[in-house]
Amino acid sequence: MLLLASHSEDTRSILEVNIRDILNKTDKTMRLNQYLRKLHKRASQFTPDNYAGEQERLYGKDLDCPPEWRSSLATVLPKSIEYWSKRADLMSSLPDNARAENMMCYIGGEGTFTPCHTAMCATLGQNIMIFASEDGSSVWFMTKTADRKIVEDYWSGTLHHNLWIEEHFASIESLMKAPFTVYILHQKVGDLVLIPSSAPHQVWNRGTYTCKVAWDRTTVKTLKLAVEEALPSIRRVCRDEQYKVKAIVYDTLVEYTRVLLSRNETELKFYPPNIEGDYTELYDLLTKILLDEHFSPSLPKGASLEEIRNEYNVTCSFCRCDIFNRFLTCEGCSTKKTEENYDVCMDCYARGRSCLCVSGLSWVEQHSWDALIGQHEEFRLMAASILEENSPNAADAPRYTETLNDARTAKRSLATVCQEALRTRPCRRLASKEGENEGGDRAYCHICIGEHARWKTIRCTQEDEGCYKAYCFSCLWHAFGMDTHDNCLAKLSWVCPCCEGFCLHPICDNKPKQNPSHLKRTILGVVTRHVADQRSVESLVDLGNSNAEWLTIGIGNRGRIPNTYKQELPVMQLPPNARRNNFKPDSRPSKPSSKVDSSKTDGAFTISTPASTAKRSRPSGGYNIDKAVSSLTPRTPDGPPTTKRARRDIPLISRLGMPRGQLSGSSPRTTRSATPTPTSSSISPVDGSKDSISKKAGQPPRKPPTTAHVGNSIMAAENTMLSHQLIQRPSVHLQVAVYSAC
């Protein structure tokens, strides 16, 4: 039905609205009638030949819906999709001041669009077009909820855009090549579009102008999807949560308990018909939330646990998500009396996100823990009665203490990980220089061979098997896709990738039963400095960096390189004594040309190396150990080894035909100029020095090999202790001949 409700002419002349400039990604403030006149002028500027041009695109997004429109919609829409309805929307369980106003208006014309995205917090979306010009309509490109992971991988791996920050509108050509089904809907005036939960979609507006009203609904199923999938994703990109998902779970259980105990049939008609089934699912969801917030009795929780009143207004200073109960706060990083404390959620702190102090934060809770556990027992009794009524032979719901004991044997709770982090991480204040107070214990990462503070790494627990390897959290995330909390710190016993059999290090590749993993998902870096609090810092993993390097070339494992890339790599031969030591070469080119093949639809990078790159030889020249050792320190304490490949070469230097005794630095090595094998291209030394060949005094120079050296480094097939020895002797100066030929 067409809704003929609009602002009067006088109202449009004075009403100011925020209009989105799509190309510049900025908001402009203008009067509503001024914007409507612009729509009439802009519509004729877009043609089939220039629709992708740089013309100005102004879109009235997220405009407040007039109360008259909301009332009119309530009279014509079914009760099952009514906005803030107790029967259809669990947002109604929150107090009025805590609800999210998500019924918005969208006014746009030809050339305006909404990039591909999913509804906030996995909610169900409704969109109805209430008014449009004669030629006005909207084209929807929609996907299934079941394909959400495939769509996300395709967006990040092939299109190189993050689906969670709503920035890219895919072309028809890209959607035709996509490995999932795309459903196209042509929406006209009066059409109501229902968007499934977590279903990616994008919208293109056509004609002079269109006017739509959209709103979201929260159900039990959307709450479960939000807790398990949506919240971790929006937390990573620091997107406002707005919907207070965990608070909705708790408040809905409180209200449903009251309604079910009253047994008032008249009142029950205003609630979902499957209220009992929803109750048991909500109970399981709340149990999971409370288990994450349970403290470990063996770890300290601070001198005092501050309790504040719950006013539904505490958000994380880093990720901006809503905080249901417990969180960490820092008063020491405040530089002004008027500045608020730095509040960080447990999810962020467990992953290394915090204020500049890093540690020394104190605990705060918004609900009395004893009261929460008492209410949880009431919810358990109600859930048990529902189960007994529907299934007399069903087992009773376990008590919280029993569930807690079972959970403790499976993994560490989120609060326990934060307690341990507060104990091990050093406390730094604003006056301290970055890098100070990092703690005395150090560890070397097995992947990047960088030296890190012990609390920035995790050590394998397979010590009985003789494994003492440590991995930094940055390499675990970028090279293996392992989350700092879920895949590492929450584990009671953490087994390293080497012991699991999928390590990417070339040394591990020589071991039996190793199947180096190939990353199939692209993790795009998202810069959040402009969104998070200015006092924020990422101590463990810099999520602003992507894993593109690991997807393309890894760290020397030939098995991870795509077949199209391996075929163009020439076979490399090593010096004779290096071959006798059973070395496995690293056959990567120094700077491969990485290009994306849009014809591939597997969501991963496709490497295309030109023939000129494959034939280009590495220049000959000396290798300076001092220079290599100085490059071991990463740019940032938590940054991944992006271009500092020299650190991977260090364990192998002493094996290139040189006695280890010469590494002591007792006497400098003598070098002489040597003429490398003639090549068709000019050759320059790697480090800028003259061509040189290491040579013992009194011995004739060795004859250089004549095969091409394309690899970026020569990796040893031994343990990593040699790299530690070289790092401990940074003053040693050693030059190694690296040959290059056609």
What pLDDT digit, counting tens, does each position of 341-371 carry?
Answer: 899 999 999 999 999 899 989 999 999 999 9
The answer on 168 and 88 residing in a single domain is yes
Cα→Cα distances 531→239, 341, 631, Å? 8, 17, 32
Q: How confident is the model at residue 512 (pLDDT cuts 50, 70, 90)?
A: confident
The closest alpha carbon to 218, from 334, 94, 72, belongs to: 94
Q: Do 322 and 192 fall within a single domain?
A: no
Q: Say which amino acid occupies 407.
A: A
Query: Taking 70 as the threshold, does the pLDDT of residue 667 lie above it?
Result: no
Same domain, residue pair 198 and 118: yes
Q: Which residues contact 580 (CB under 8 A, 6 or more apart)?
A: none
Q: Which residues pair with 113 in a beta bridge?
A: 204
Q: Are residues 618 and 716 in the same domain?
A: yes
156 touches 230 (CB < 8 A): no
Q: Is the pLDDT of residue 390 over 60?
A: yes
Model pLDDT, residue 610: 33
Single residue among 178, 202, 218 that ends a domain in this structure = 218
**Quick check: is 742 in a domain?**
no
- For residues 450 and 563, the model is more confident at 450
**pLDDT of 118 strictly over 90:** yes
* Residue range of the domain that includes 402: 245-424
Separation between Cα atoms, residue 208 and residue 367, nearest integer Å: 52
Tokens of 406: 């079972």
In a domain, 226, yes or no: no
Residue 536 dihedral angles phi and psi, to the nearest 5°: -80, 155
Could you tell me what percent of the chain has a pLDDT over 90? Answer: 45
Same structural domain, 527 and 394:
no
CA distance 684 to 469: 38
| Beta-strand pair 58-64/104-108 | antiparallel
How confident is the model over 43-72, as pLDDT tens digits?
Answer: 778 877 777 778 889 999 999 998 889 999
DSSP classification of residue 315:
B
Cα–Cα distance, 138 to 212 (Å, whole number): 10
The answer to whether residue 227 is domain-embedded is: no
Say whether pLDDT at 146 is over 80.
Answer: yes
Q: Do 466 and 527 share a domain, yes or no?
A: yes
Residues 447 and 407 in one domain: no
Q: Which pLDDT band holds residue 487 (cuts at 50, 70, 90)? A: very high
User: 25: how many CB neighbours lie within 10 A of its CB?
Assistant: 8
User: Of 3, 12, 111, 98, nearest to 63 (Cα)?
Assistant: 12
Q: Can you tell me the distance from the alpha carbon of 547 to that of 481, in angstroms, rounded to the nearest whole number?
A: 8
Among 117-121, 127-131, 671-675, the range scoring the smallest mean pLDDT is 671-675
**Inter-axis angle of helices 369-390 and 400-408, nearest 10:** 100
Do 449 and 589 fall into the same domain? yes
Question: Does pLDDT of 520 surpass 80?
Answer: no
Q: Which of 390, 424, 458 is the last residue of a domain?
A: 424
Q: Please, are residues 3 and 76 in contact by the beta-carbon 8 Å criterion?
A: yes
CA 405 – CA 560 distance, rounded (Å): 42
Q: Which residue has the higher pLDDT, 457 or 2?
A: 457
Predicted confidence at residue 58, as pLDDT, reads 92
* Residue 519 domain flag: yes
One domain for residues 170 and 304: no
Mean pLDDT of 573-592: 35
Q: Which residue has the higher pLDDT, 488 or 37?
A: 488
Pairwise pLDDT comparison (557 vs 227), residue with the higher score: 227
Q: Does 440 have pLDDT greater than 70?
A: no
Domain boundary residue, one of 374, 397, 424: 424
Residue of 227, 239, 240, 127 whose CA lies nearest to 185: 127
Q: What is the pairing mode between strands 183-187 and 210-217? A: unpaired
Q: Which of 136-140, 143-147, 241-245 has the lowest mean pLDDT?
A: 241-245
What is the β-pairing status of strands 210-217 and 353-355?
unpaired
Q: How many domains does the chain divide into?
A: 3
- Of the pLDDT bands very low, low, confident and very high (cuts 50, 70, 90), residue 463 is confident
* Predicted pLDDT of residue 600: 38
Based on the domain organization, do 210 and 313 belong to the same domain?
Answer: no
pLDDT at residue 429 in the model: 66
Pair 213, 251 in one domain = no
In a domain, 233, yes or no: no
Of residues 687 and 200, which shows the higher confidence score?
Answer: 200
**Within-domain flag for 75:** yes
Side-chain-facing half-sphere of 399: CA atoms under 13 Å:
4
Helix (H, G, I), strand (E, B) or coil at 194: strand
380 and 459 inside one domain:
no
Report which of residues 733 and 410 the model is more confident about. Answer: 410
Nearest Cα residue to 226 out of 151, 324, 130, 369 = 324
CATH number of the domain where residue 128 is located: 2.60.120.650
- For residue 350, CA distances in Å to 406, 418, 485, 554 come to 22, 5, 6, 27
Sign of the dihedral defined by the CA atoms of residues 628, 633, 636, 640, in that order: positive
Q: What is the mean pLDDT of the chain?
A: 74
Residue 239 domain-assigned? no
Lookup: tokens for 171: 């072309």
Instruction: Decide if 234 is inside a domain.
Output: no
pLDDT at 479 over 50: yes
Q: Is the pLDDT of residue 156 over 50?
A: yes
The total of other beta-carbon atoms located within 10 Å of residue 588's CB is 22
Q: Which of 128-142, 365-379, 437-451, 644-658 has the lowest mean pLDDT?
A: 644-658
Token pair 């999520």 is at which residue?
543
More confident residue, 296 or 704: 296
- pLDDT value of position 518: 56
Average pLDDT (549-567) is: 43
User: Would the pLDDT of 629 be above 70?
Assistant: no
Q: Does residue 739 carry a pLDDT above 80?
A: no
User: Stretch 79-87: mean pLDDT, rounded?
Assistant: 92
Q: State in Å, rounded, how far the first CA of the chain is from the last one.
A: 75
| 158-178 residue pLDDT tens | 999 999 989 999 999 999 999
